[in-house]
Structure 1
Amino acid sequence: MHDQPQPVFQTHGLKRFYRMGDVTIQALRGVDLELHAGELVVMLGASGSGKSTLLNIMGGLDSPSEGSLSYIDRNRQPHDLAHASQRTLTEYRRHHVGFVFQFYNLISSLTARENVAIVTDISRDPMTPEEALAMVGLEARLDHFPSQLSGGEQQRVAIARAIAKRPEVLLCDEPTGALDFRTGIRVLEVLEEINRTTGTTLAIITHNEVIGEMADRVIRLRDGQVGDIHTNAGRRPPGELRW
């Protein structure tokens, strides 16, 4: 008998409205979802499907208009993120979750090592910047500035910065969107290895269907709702993806 997977996120009836003048835009229309500890999930959807809004809410960057959202930490303690204060959400972002975005958001005047140290200096039990950069294969580029790095290398610095605080969850919003195919594959290999070797729960949102083949589960969003959820029989290594 297999153990039931431990949830990390549980949402029920999650809705998000944005008001623009007299117009109300409904980005999420009642999302019921559970993400499991240690899994690699790919969330697929076209532009406007609500996937970025959902990721931002799970990451504590935004709050839902209606519904419930629980985050269950490694000690199996639940945290109500739907009704959390800004201070609580700041603590959550600082200690529990890491982010990787399409654009790298590195500080141009700081070296790779210094960009990662921004996070390690305020974390409870961080890796050293050197450890984090070695995990993404950049141990030889510690003292290079962003302008001296390729796009793929800059994204790997951003990943190192995200994982340096040892987050339980890593949320990635179109992490290969600004990269060419070959460089994108290298970034996906880094993310997959982090998930496999550290047990960090990894959620990647993308419009690229092929990336779903490397996931444990694929969650498809349509018009602010979960369209369907597919469990893969096996994960395909990023190096075997073709698009």
Structure 2
Amino acid sequence: MPQDNANPAIFVARGLTKVYRMGEVEVHALRGIDLTLYRGELVVLLGPSGSGKSTLLNILGGLDAPSGGEVRYLDHTLTGASESELTRFRREHVGFVFQFYNLIPSLTARENVAAVTEISKSPMRPEDALALVGLGNRLDHFPAQLSGGEQQRVAIARAVAKNPAVLLCDEPTGALDSATGVVVLEVLEKVNRELGTLTVLITHNAGIADMADRVIRLSDGQIAEEHRNAHKRSASELSW
């Protein structure tokens, strides 16, 4: 996808490396990643456990810092940013969705979403975010009263309610059965389409890759393969 004014690069990463030291052992999680991600794309990062997917996602989201290389978000360099700058970046620009929903049990669906919108610059109304994910009739339900798939949709509503430019999803269907997972993927597809949010989705499940604009396969900390889907399948057509 060419870079132009209508479709600017959101992230540009060059030469990213990440080394973890575990006692005397060095673990090379990333080994020189070059990557550009554009506004409005739905990108799937595919690969087995240990391939570097989560490390890459955490660096893009400002949750971790690379050992080497550079990451830029629009015209801001994230590499070397202070912790307070990274906190502001995460708060204002990035929504996160994880495998486990991390909802606050004592708060209703509406209150879980409001916990984020109250500290955001230009948020959606919690009710609108929950309607977007198909839970407009579950506003006052507590997490224990919701199924796993509904809890994950509340987590997605919470992530998108602050109107982020970027949605980073780490195995968002990993704790769900196939049918429920498809419902969650349909929500992510809708958010990407209707809000134009750059959506990056980590999975080890190759079947999910068919819904992406672009698929990037990682292996041993490197990009092993990258391709565009000539014919995207809708999330409703997926199964695994």
The question of a shared fold, defined as TM-score above 0.5 by the shorter chain, is answered with: yes
The alignment status of 1:228 with 2:221, answered yes or no, reads no
Which amino acid in structure 1 is aligned with residue 73 of structure 2? Y
Q: 1:22 to 1:208 in 2, by over 3 A?
A: same
Aligned residues: 237
What residue is the counterpart of 1:58 in the other structure? Answer: 60
- Map of 1:6 onto structure 2: 8
Query: Quick one: which amino acid aligns to residue 52 of structure 1?
Result: S
Letter aligned with residue 217 of structure 2: R
Aligned to 2:49: 47
1:55-204 equivalences in 2 (<5 Å): 55-72=57-74, 78-204=75-201
TM-score normalised by L of structure 1: 0.96
> Counterparts of 2:199 and 2:22 in 1: how far apart (Å)?
33
1:3: how far off?
6.8
1:242 Cα deviation from its structure 2 partner: 2.4
- When residues 14 and 3 of structure 1 are mapped into structure 2, their CA distance, relative to the original with a 3 A threshold, is closer
What is the CA distance between 1:83 and its match in structure 2?
A: 1.0
The answer to whether the 8 Å contact 2:72/2:78 transfers is: yes
Which amino acid is the alignment partner of residue 124 of structure 1? Answer: K
Residue deviations 1:2-44, cap 9 Å, x none?
Answer: 8744211111110011111111111001100110110000000
Structure 1 residue 32 and structure 2 residue 34: aligned? Answer: yes
Amino acid in structure 1 at the alignment position of 2:149: G
Shift of 1:234: 2.2
Say if 2:15 is the partner of 1:18. no
Aligned identity (percent) is: 65
Q: Cα distance 1:95–1:3, how it changes in 2: closer, same or farther (>3 A)?
A: closer
Residue 82 of structure 1: how far off its partner (Å): 1.2
1: distance between equivalents of 2:175 and 2:112? Answer: 20
Per-residue CA deviations over 1:84-105 (Å, capped at 9, x if unaligned) read 1100000000000000000000
Q: Where does structure 1 differ by over 6 angstroms across 4 or more consecutive aligned residues?
A: none
Name the aligned partner's letter for residue 66 of structure 1.
G
Q: Secondary structure at the match of 2:189?
A: helix
Query: Which amino acid in 2 is paired with 1:7?
Result: A
| CA positional deviation for 1:179 | 0.3
* Deviation sequence 1:30-68 (CA, Å, 0-9, x none): 100110110000000000000000000000000001001
CA distance in 1, matches of 2:8, 2:207: 27
Aligned to 2:58, the other structure's residue is in SS state helix
- Which amino acid is 1:101 matched to? F
RMSD: 0.9
